[in-house]
Structures are given as C-alpha cells and as structure tokens.
Amino acid sequence: MQIDLLYSLSGFAVGLLVGITGVGGGSLMTPLLILLFGIHPATAVGTDLLYAAATKTAGSLVHGLARSIHWPIVARLACGSIPASVVTLSVLWWLNLDSGVARSLINYVLCFALLLTATSLIFRKAIMNLYRQRLDRLQPATTARATILVGIGLGVLVSISSVGAGAVGVVALLLLYPQLPMARIIGSDIVHAVPLTLVAGTGHWIIGTVDWHLMGSLLVGSLPGIVVGSYIAVRVPERALRLILAATLIVVACKLAIDEWHAPASAVTAYTKRSPQ
C-alpha cells in the first residue's frame, strides 16, 4: 500500500506540472519511474503510454466542447504516426525488450526526446522567429505532406520513449500552421496524441510491457493533479516554470545517459521491479 501511495503522489506531482505548463506527462513520468522507482524502461514506457491515452482523452473532450480542434491536422498527423508506431513496435518486439540492446535503445531515445522537449521549451520563440516566415510561404499541399512527416517522427519517438507528443508536436504545428490560434494548435495536438498513445500503448500491452496496477495508482493521483494545476496556472509565472522544467529535463536526460553509458552488458537484470514478462 505504501508503494501505491508513492506512485499516486508522484502522479499528482506530474499532473500538477502538466496542468500548469501544458507539457506532456511522458517527459516527466517515464524518467521518474525509471530513475526513482527502478521500473524497467520498457514497462515504464508502455504503462505511461496508456496512462497518457487516458489523461489526454479527458483533455480532448474539453477541447471538443470548446471547438478548438483542427481535424485536418489531426488526420494528417495520424496518417503518419499510426503506421510509424506499428512499424516501430514491430521492431521493438523483434529486438526482444528484455535484451540489453532494446533497453539501451529506449534509454538513449528517451534522452534524445527529453533534450528535444527541453529545447522546444527554452527556444520556442527563437525557433518561431527564425523559421515561421519561411514556412508561412509553403503551399498547402507541401504543408500537408510536412505534417504527415511530423506525424511519422512523433510516431517513432512516442512509441519508443512515450515522449514528444506534447511540446515538440506543438512547436512543429506552430511552424506549419502560423495562421491558427494557439488554442486550436494545442487542441489538435492533444487529440492526435489520443490515438497515437492508445495504439502504441496497446502494442506495448501485447508485447507484455504494461503494468495495469501501476497505471491505476498513477491515474488516482494525476487526474486531480491536472485539475488543480489547470486551476492555478494563471496564478503562476509560466515562463519561469518552463525554464525550471527544461533544466530538470536536461539534468534527467544526462543522468539517464550517464547511467546507460556506465552500465555493464548484463545491466538488464538491474531493473528488477515490474520487468516485462
């Protein structure tokens, strides 16, 4: 019961930050499960994906009621991300998620995704100023193809690390669709994340890397956390929080990379808690 309580408290803390900053929970929850609780990387990713599908479904309902969803964007992203997710999961299954190779792949891709998310948090405005005017001149057909390519990238990244569908996806959509208001960009990104995380999470479940008891404990804490975070978001200096969050993600990514670099070839046995069956 004590361990379950710790998971729920961790879920509340992550949900609180997600509600305040809008950054996807995967960039916070997955490293937390690996580094703090010693969860096997594959199990942490698989469980977090279905956890994200549940939490983002609630967010999608809110955006649907507010009519802040651009459905063509969602369809284009899904055309790239869903097939890419299926292919990526097939490769992971072929590699055998209990192997050291698969564990290292997940950890290194997770590090890359965390650094990419941190970069998007810190340099979003600079990136927008640098590339927005160039991309604004793209033809609609080119923009549609580029959106599908973004979906492919997100499908691969999210299926391996559970990170990328939040801050990274929003920055990409802001560049490709500068004429759309921010609310529709965020709404479209959240709605697209639902089928992506559901497909990727289901794939991990089939492979055997989802812990339902763990996911339930996380949801018990995170759902109230998101509500509280959303309520106090307007009362907290968001820019300062984003910079702190970005710095935290960089530190976590470096910690994961260092641990993986120094891990022996037999380190797969180090993750004794809730390893894939």
Each residue's pLDDT tens digit, 210-247: 999 888 888 888 878 877 776 675 566 767 777 777 88
Is 252 a domain residue? Answer: yes
| Cα distances (angstroms) measured from residue 24 to each of 16, 51, 129, 209, 225 | 11, 11, 24, 20, 13
**103's tokens:** 């564990």
* Confidence grade of residue 266 (pLDDT, cut at 50, 70, 90): very low
Residue 2: band (very low, low, confident or very high) from pLDDT cuts 50, 70, 90: very low
The residues near 277 (Cβ < 8 Å, ≥ 6 apart) are: 208
On whether residue 276 sits in a domain, the answer given is no
CA distance between the termini of the chain? 23
Q: The pTM is what?
A: 0.82
3-state secondary structure the chain: CHHHHHHHHHHHHHHHHHHHHCCCCHHHHHHHHHHCCCECHHHHHHHHHHHHHHHHHHHHHHHHHCCCCCHHHHHHHHHHHHHHHHHHHHHHHHHCCCCHHHHHHHHHHHHHHHHHHHHHHHHHHHHHHHHHHHHHCCCHHHHHHHHHHHHHHHHHHHHHHCCCCCHHHHHHHHHHCCCCCHHHHHHHHHHHHHHHHHHHHHHHHHHCCCCHHHHHHHHHHHHHHHHHHHHHHHHCCHHHHHHHHHHHHHHHHHHHHHHHHHCCCCHHHHCCECCCC
In a domain, residue 275? The reply is: no
Give the domain range for residue 119. 2-270
65 contacts: CB under 8 Å, gap ≥ 6: none
What pLDDT score was predicted for residue 268?
A: 46
Query: How far apart, in whole angstroms, are the C-alpha atoms of residue 220 and residue 5?
Result: 9
- Which residues, including other chains, have CB under 8 Å from residue 97's CB and lie 6 or more apart? 42, 103, 207, 208, 209, 276
- Tell me the mean pLDDT in the region 6-19: 82
Number of domains the chain is built from:
1
The answer to whether 144 and 76 are in contact (CB under 8 A) is yes
Please check whether residue 27 lies inside any domain of the structure. yes
Domain-embedded: residue 277? no
Residue 34 lies in a domain: yes
Task: Return the pLDDT at 235.
Answer: 66
Which residue type, as a one-letter code, is found at position 212?
A: W
Establish if 52 belongs to a structural domain: yes
Residue at 45 is within a domain: yes
pLDDT at 136 over 70: no
